Chain A
Amino acid sequence: MSVEENRNCKCECEQDNKVNCDLRREMIQEIRCLEFAITELALYLDTHSEDEKALCLHRKYCKKLKELKDKYQKVYGPLTINFPCNKWRWIEMPWPWERGNY
């Protein structure tokens, strides 16, 4: 991808399929939201470990995140190196600084 294309492209799969792209964006956004909520809850729980409500939310979000990440990675490629694949897609997908998984 040239610099110019890269600059104007909002999403690396836009050319392929608009519907597919919107779905991917929606999924990665939900993954990011869950990751953020878990990070934030974990920091809170570090200093409020007795808070049952926060602990319950943390459990709920972790479960949801795992399901969603499994679903995303099966279709769009691995987000971490500990996701098993038949083909090494880790090096094919653009990196976050190149707007990969944006």
Chain B
Amino acid sequence: MAMGKGELLMWTYNKTLQYPINIKCPDPKLAKVIISQYGGPDGELAASLRYLSQRFGMPDQVSKAVLNDIGTEELAHLEMVGTIVHQLTDGASIEEIEKAGLAPYYTDHGVDVYPVSAAGVPFTASYIAAKGDPIANLQEDLAAEQKARATYEKLIDLCRDNPDVLDPLRYLRQREVVHFQRFGEALRGVQDKLAEKKFYINNMNYNNR
């Protein structure tokens, strides 16, 4: 984020969502599936940690920047998904919670937003990959963006009757497409860089410098 003179340059919280969310009718059933984009295998938490972990080992300035900046944007998306889940369950009655199949979740987590998949599997670091290989990592990221897009499309199908939820989901889906594009460009840059130098596939120089 660009800042003026004298301002901090670090991760600074902005007290506003990247895209506005105002869900007028709570619907815990939708919260139960949307939470997958919070703590599921192709969710925003996994995306953010994947990119922010991979950036340390990248061989060129472009891919470091792309991973840093997309990883940062994913944190803003994590907050958006958390907000959707919160607003979909906020004010719901205990009967509505039970009917939505959220009784087990409510037992352990109450009204907190806890990173789990739609099936209730808690978040695990095995959702993220940091292979120590720039090509493998960027290919992983391209696939991750497509999987996130596909997940959002399934959620858009499931939320077809709730325009307040559809709107931010469509926005989030679109961002996956843009990120895919940028990762593709970063991958081409890395391939070019590795091609111009002598690059041995069995090179023990672990960070390919």
Measuring CB to CB, which residues of chain A are less than 8 angstroms from any residue of chain B? 3-4, 6-8, 10, 28-29, 31-32, 35-36, 38-40, 42-44, 46-49, 58, 62, 65-66, 78-82, 90, 93, 95-97, 99-102
Complex contacts, A81 vs chain B, CB 8 Å: 12-13
Closest CB in chain B relative to A55 CB, distance in Å: 12
Main secondary structure of the interface of B (DSSP, over half): loop
Known: A7-B26, A42-B69, A58-B2. A47 touches B185 (CB 8 A): yes
Main secondary structure of the interface of A (DSSP, over half): helix
The residue on A at minimum CB distance from B8 is A82
Is B56 part of the contact surface with A, judged by Cβ < 8 Å?
A: no
B69-A96 in contact (CB<8A): no
Is B34 part of the contact surface with A, judged by Cβ < 8 Å?
A: no
A101-B16 in contact (CB<8A): yes
Is B83 part of the contact surface with A, judged by Cβ < 8 Å?
A: yes
Q: Interface readout for B2-15 with A: 1 if CB under 8 Å, 0 if not? A: 10100110001111
Which of B15, B70, B182, B185 lies in contact with A79, CB distance below 8 A? B15
List, sorted by A's number, 6 A–B pairs whose CB atoms are closer than 8 Å: A6-B91, A29-B20, A42-B69, A46-B66, A80-B15, A100-B16
Closest CB in chain A relative to B193 CB, distance in Å: 13
Closest CB in chain B relative to A80 CB, distance in Å: 5
Closest CB in chain B relative to A75 CB, distance in Å: 14
B12-A32 in contact (CB<8A): no
A47-B22 in contact (CB<8A): no
The total number of A-B Cβ pairs within 8 Å is: 97
Is B115 part of the contact surface with A, judged by Cβ < 8 Å?
A: no
Is B86 part of the contact surface with A, judged by Cβ < 8 Å?
A: yes
The residue on A at minimum CB distance from B24 is A7
Closest CB in chain B relative to A3 CB, distance in Å: 4
Is B129 part of the contact surface with A, judged by Cβ < 8 Å?
A: no
Complex contacts, B82 vs chain A, CB 8 Å: 97
Is B54 part of the contact surface with A, judged by Cβ < 8 Å?
A: no
Closest CB in chain B relative to A5 CB, distance in Å: 10
In the assembled complex, the Cα of A80 lies from the Cα of B62 at a distance in Å of: 28
In the assembled complex, the Cα of A38 lies from the Cα of B72 at a distance in Å of: 14
